[in-house]
Amino acid sequence: MATSMRGLTQFIADIRGARVRELEEKRINKEMANIRKRFKDGNLDGYQKKKYVAKVIFTYILGYKVDIGHMEAVNLISSMKYSEKQIGYLAVTLLMHENSDFLRLVVNSIRKDLNENNEIYNCLALHAIANVGGQEMAEALAEDVHRLLISPTSENFVRKKAALTLLRLYRKHPEVIPAAEWASRIVSLMDDIDLGVVICVTSLVMALAQDHLEAYAVCYQKAVDRLNRLVIEHEYTATYAYYKVPSPWLQVKLLRLLQYYPPTEDPTLRNILFEVLQAIMNNCAEPTRNVQHNNAQHAVLFEAIGLAIHLDPNSPLVSTATVLLARFISSRETNVRYLGLDTMAYLAARADHLEAVKRHQGTIILSLRDKDISVRRRALDLLYSMCDVDNSDVIVGELLRYLKVADYGLREEMVLKIAILTEKYAGTYKWYVDTILELISAAGDHVGDEVWYRVVQIVTNTEDLQAYAARVVFEYLKSPSSHESLVKVGGYILGEYGHLIANDSGYSPIEQFQVLHSKSQFCMAPTRALLLSTYIKWVNVFPEIKEQLVNVFERYRHVLDVDLQQRACEFYALATRPAEDEVLQNVCEEIPPFPARESALQTRLSRKLTDAGDRRTWVHGGSVTLDRQATRRTTKPALGDIHGNGSAATSGIDGSNGANDITQSLMGLDLSSSPTALQAKTSFSELQSAPAQFLAEKGIPRLTTNHNVERWFEKLTYSSEGVLYEDVQIQVGIKSRFHGHIGQVAVYIGNKISAPLTSFTALLHTEEPDALSVSFAKIAPSIIAPRMQTQQLVNVECKKVFTKAPILSLSFLAGAHQSIAVRLPIVVTKFLEHVKLGQAEFFERWKLIGGPPRESQAIFPITLADSGFINTERQRQVVSGSCLNILDGIDPNPSNIVAAGILHMAEDGNVGCLMRLEPNKDAKLCRITVRSTSENVAAELQRLIQKPLSTDAVS
């Protein structure tokens, strides 16, 4: 194409050949005038337009201002020739910014190209959307891009591009993409056969899932399954193996994606995951000579270690990982050292026991002197994370020593961290004061105000510390040069507590004054002001040096600085009042302890943590540091003391709590709790009416409803096998077996059509996870062959009484994306076991339990059998189907049914249940009474048994 445009080649050659800038400008001016003339004249054919627009583009990318040719570019886009279209799109993406008015003209052409059957046009259009992607464009075209992504007719590379385009749009305008609504459809693409598509879709899912954890929860299972297939089953084409590592990019993405979710509760998934992680770690046990191979392996490995730590910081996997990490932090390669330290810092932040990390303390401290600054930075982070009471002396000492030679860029952060560690893990006051003062004198300019405020706060709040602090600070001030921050601390502490040490030799008032005042001439105005305040305090407590002090005030009364002058004048007036006056004493009352306040240091530190790209899955010095701190606190009482009246102690915790909140929200720890809380309030019918958007956002599948579904469900509540759901495409059958609190439900899923169901996903969802646990024995296959049936075993365990049956949601691709969500017939009654009781026994217990609240009673209408009698047969069937043992001969009335059973629960133990059903033929009513040792059980049992019986009445 370029060869055919001779004018363009010549133009570029001319510009390249221009010796000086002026010549180049002249050539361009000339060309632009020519193009203006041509465009103005009109009547250009496609080739000419293409050529001139290409020249305009070239001029533009040289950095010249171009404001013509936009209209021609827009025209070119709608051309039918590829080369013209291409230049048109190039011009649009280069010349137009996202808010350009011209983009409105382009939107329709782009949409047309998206709808075109020609996949190259699709790609050009997608490319343009991704590159320009303004708000308006995103709103107009996101739908079409999504359609291209999910369309079964799209080529793989179109789908790849579509996924990435959508990702770009989402990152730029998250509000435009209905992420939650599209969740299931997008996630289903993670099952695609083409790994390239999977990589792209995973990137998209990663971005979406971060903001919509619940809605994208399905991807967890998909990711685990895919990892399993890649790592364990080696199911990938040779083209996706990079130096023998199966698609490291995909692996890394999947492992990272899993870290955004809280560790899974599902034992099956967990086992598979551990197996995968184990395999990854085993693969990396031996480093190879090939650098590329190592890189690929390490990339996967570090993510895997991250995930392992995330899943369970105390698992044996993590100890394996620690061994690996230890090798990495002493590696010869800088990158590996960096990553090793970084991951170790994560481990230190999460793990309860730091012994494994502490073993390498020496190596880590050595890393502080690494030749690479970023490695030094990571080492600092790690030391900060791994610090606790036992090693704080060593670490803080080491950091202080290193501070003096550290890079300037690192010092401020170091100072903050040292200050926090010192405060958090101080064993004795002495150590705390010594360390902080040494810090201030060593770091000088890098000490923020927060640090010395904090010192003052703690000294003020801790009475025992005051005299010692005054003495130490005085010693520091005696050195010929001291930093201003030190002078400030000195000024404050000596002013408040100087009198405590005034009687000791060498600390007399006049000496204190001389030492402090000798520094004042080197200080800035605010520090001098502080010193003036110190002097007025001294006037109160040291009458013997009043003369010198008043002298100072006298001199300062004439300085130019307004603040200083005012202070001096006021203090002078105050100091020269008659001796019997009490104003001075009242003014200089000792400072009361500070109210508990959040440590400003932590806030300052956490403010530094901002990330642009994908969110980090953890922060330094995160959650577990707090727990660790708390446990240590109980074992070492000295620690609590340092915080004096207890006020500062809480502030320390508050500080780390603040960081915690962030961590928690990041990791979505409240995943399980919030929907339950919501669900408890929303009844079944409310769920139905709730907007789909809301449900999707919460990750609750929308239940499929029709009359049949309810009927099937109800039938299964009192029988152990049958059809749960059926439509033209799929049939779901159930076979269940319960023993005590454990049950096993086999779900048979049959494909009724003559095409395979692809991207098949089965998910279980309980609304009361702490009362009932359900999980698949293994992950469902992603394809169901035509006219075939697959069986999935569900393990059930009842822990407490529950009222909501778990939801089974199935989704699959059969032409279009389908999803079904039905409740599994797992109800409390399934966990009942027969119990044999005699008449006397029964009534004894019946009376023992007594009336409400442990009794639940209801009267409901029933229909009679065709014969006009009570349908006793059916009633008996329902009752015995509910696993209650019908006891004959207890009730004198033969149509009454009396039954008993024991409910087995793993956590709440066994609960006995007694039931009595009294139908009345004439009134067509029936009374049900359930008595149980637990009131919840009684109510729930009554509801469950009554329901099928009364339905009869209705139908």
Partner 1 sequence: MISAFFIFNQKGEVLISRLYRTDLKRSIADVFRIQVVSNSDVRSPIVTLGSTSFFHVKINNLYIVAVTKCNANAALVFEYCYRFISIAKSYFGKVDEEAVKNNFVLIYELIDEINDFGYPQNSEIDTLKTYITTESIMSTATAVEESSKITTQATGATSWRRADVKYKKNEAFVDVVETVNLSMSAKGTILRADVDGHILMRAYLSGSPVCKFGLNDKLVIDKSERGMGDAVELDDCRFHQCVRLDEFDSDRTISFIPPDGEFELMKYRSTSNVKLPLRVIPTVNEIGTTQVSYVVTVKTNFSNKLSATNVVLRIPTPLNTTTVDCKVPSGKAKYVPAENVVVWKIPRIQGGSEVTFSGHAQLTSTTTRQVWARPPIDVDFQVLMFTASGLIVRFLKVFEKSGYNSIKWVRYLTKASGSYQIRF
Contact residues for partner 1, defined by CB under 8 A: 19-20, 26-27, 29-30, 32-34, 36-37, 39-40, 67-68, 70, 100, 102
Q: How far is the CB of 70 from partner 1 (least distance, A)?
A: 5
Shortest distance (Å) from residue 15 CB to partner 1:
13
Burial of 349-375, coded b for 16+ CB within 10 Å and e otherwise, reads: bbbeebebbbebbebbbebbebeeeeb
Smallest separation (angstroms) from partner 1 to the CB of 126: 25
d(CA 272, CA 264): 11
Rounded distance, CA 58 to CA 69, Å? 12
Question: CB of 49: closest distance to partner 1 in angstroms?
Answer: 15
CB of 93 to partner 1, least distance (A): 15
Nearer to partner 1, 41 or 589 (CB): 41
CA angle, corner 324, sides to 319 and 328, nearest 5?
140
Q: Among residues 40 and 289, whose Cβ is nearest to partner 1? A: 40
Q: Which amino acid is at 466?
A: Q
Give CA–CA dist 328/337, Å, rounded. Answer: 6
- Pick the closer one to partner 1 by CB: 12 or 68: 68
How near is the Cβ of 9 to partner 1 at its closest, in Å?
20
Structural contact between residues 426 and 458, judged by C-beta atoms closer than 8 angstroms: no
CB 891 within 8 A of CB 884: no
Which tokens belong to 233?
């089953």
Residue type, 586: N
Closer Cβ to partner 1, 41 or 355, answer by number: 41
Residue 911 Cα distances to 399, 718, 741, 769, 880, angstroms: 61, 20, 11, 20, 18
> Measured from the CB atom, is 100 or 361 closer to partner 1?
100
Token pair in block for residue 742: 């454990």
Strands 925-932 and 832-834: unpaired
Our CB check for partner 1 shows the closer of 64 and 157 to be 64
Which of 137, 197 has the CB closer to partner 1? 137
Alpha-carbon distances, residue 656 vs 425, 436, 662 (angstroms): 13, 20, 10
Would you tell me how many other CB atoms lie within 10 Å of the CB of residue 101? Answer: 9
Task: Using the minimum distance from each CB to partner 1, give the nearer residue, 30 or 739.
Answer: 30
Provide, rounded to whole angstroms, the least separation between the CB of residue 415 and partner 1. 33
How is residue 715 written in tokens?
Answer: 């039938």
DSSP state, residue 955: -
Shortest gap between Cβ of 17 and partner 1 (angstroms)? 15
User: How far is the C-alpha of 623 from the C-alpha of 634, rounded, in Å?
Assistant: 18
Name the β-bridge partners of 811: 761, 819
Nearer to partner 1, 105 or 671 (CB): 105
| Cβ-based neighbour number of residue 584 at 10 Å | 17
Least Å distance, CB 85 to partner 1, is 21
Q: Are 143 and 182 in contact (CB under 8 A)?
A: no
Between 20 and 560, CB nearer to partner 1:
20
CA 56, chain centre distance (Å): 47
Nearest CA among 50, 45, 76, 59 for reference residue 11: 59
Whichever of 56 and 486 has its CB closer to partner 1, that residue is: 56
Q: Which is nearer to partner 1, 36 or 555 (CB)?
A: 36
Count of beta carbons in the 10 Å neighbourhood of residue 383: 28
Question: In terms of CB distance, is 74 or 917 closer to partner 1?
Answer: 74
Give me the phi and psi of 722, to 5 degrees please.
Answer: 155, -175
List helix spans (H) across 404-506.
408-425, 429-443, 449-461, 465-478, 484-501
Two tokens, residue 869: 């009698």
What does the alpha-carbon distance between residue 446 and residue 423 come to, in Å, rounded to a whole number?
Answer: 18
Sequence-distant (6+) residues with CB within 8 A of 334 are 370, 372, 375
Looking at the Cβ atoms of 63 and 637, the one nearer to partner 1 is: 63
Take residue 538 and report the two structure tokens written for it: 């001294």
- Identify the burial level of 14 via C-beta atoms within 10 angstroms of its C-beta, where 0-12 means exposed, 13-18 middle and 19 or more buried: middle
Comparing CB distances to partner 1, the nearer of 65 and 607 is 65
Minimum CB distance to partner 1, residue 96 (Å): 9
Tokens of 452: 């010395």
CA distance 602 to 620: 11
Among 211, 141, 352, 152, smallest CA distance to 759 is for: 152
Look at residues 152, 208, 213, 211 and name the one whose alpha carbon lies nearest to residue 182: 208
As measured in angstroms, the least distance from the Cβ of 34 to partner 1 is 7
Q: How far is the CB of 11 from partner 1 (least distance, A)?
A: 13
Least separation, in Å, of the C-beta of 51 and partner 1? 17
Least distance between partner 1 and beta carbon 46 (Å): 20
Please identify, using beta-carbon distances, which residue of 109 and 775 lies nearer to partner 1: 109
Of 71 and 630, CB closest to partner 1: 71
Secondary structure letter of residue 671 according to DSSP: G
| Residue pair 8/83 in contact by the 8 Å Cβ criterion | no
Shortest distance (Å) from residue 63 CB to partner 1: 12
Cα separation of 637 and 294, whole Å? 48
CA 390 to chain centre: 31
Minimum distance from residue 101 beta carbon to partner 1 (Å) = 8
In whole angstroms, the minimum distance from the beta carbon of 138 to partner 1 comes to: 22
State the nearest-atom distance from the C-beta of 6 to partner 1, in Å.
Answer: 21
Q: Of the two residues 33 and 777, which places its CB atom closer to partner 1 in the complex?
A: 33
| Three-state SS sequence of 922-945 | CCCEEEEEEEECCHHHHHHHHHHH
Q: How many CB atoms lie within 10 A of CB 612?
A: 5
CA dist., res. 215 & res. 614, Å (int) = 18
Q: For tokens 């533009």, name the residue.
A: 60
